[in-house]
Amino acid sequence: MKASISFPELQDLITEKAKQHISFSHVDGRTVRVTYPLNLGFIKKDISANLIIKEVIGSDLLVQLSAGMGTDTLLTTVLSLLKDKIPAGMIEKRPDSHLMLHLGEIEQVKSVFDTIDVSDLRVLSDGLEVEGTLKKQEL
């Protein structure tokens, strides 16, 4: 089975939950461009990075952030800015600009993983597509 979510739907969900506007755009089938408006009072600038989908592991998603030189510094800065706006433990920083996103920490997403064994996540031109199989439910 396949299900999809459009970039506008995903952006609205993140804005509602994290109180932060983040926009997404297609790069290729495994890569999405993420843009975050940085506002430090005296500095207002959009920061963009590519998020490369590496692997789906249960309800976790391993991704790699690519933003050119200074990716690790950018990653540390953005994570510190978001730490009070996202559920604790939702994002785990890994070596080499990798992140483990614990998607089960998001209530709406958790219900998907409770019902579906997700096998793949792809980037479409207008959103994300999840592929998986229904879990057998006990009666």
Total domains in the chain come to 1
Residue 85 lies in a domain: yes
* Structural domain contains residue 115: yes
Residue 53: which domain range? Answer: 2-132
The reply to whether 78 falls in a domain is yes
Q: Averaging pLDDT over each range in 62-66, 96-100, 120-124, which range is the top one?
A: 120-124
Tokens standing for 20? Answer: 């932060």
Q: Between vectors from CA 65 to CA 64 and to CA 68, what angle results, nearest 5°?
A: 130
pTM metric for this prediction: 0.78
What's the confidence (pLDDT) of residue 78? 66
Please indicate, yes or no, if residue 103 is contained in any of the structural domains.
Answer: yes
* Percent of the chain whose predicted confidence (pLDDT) is above 70: 84
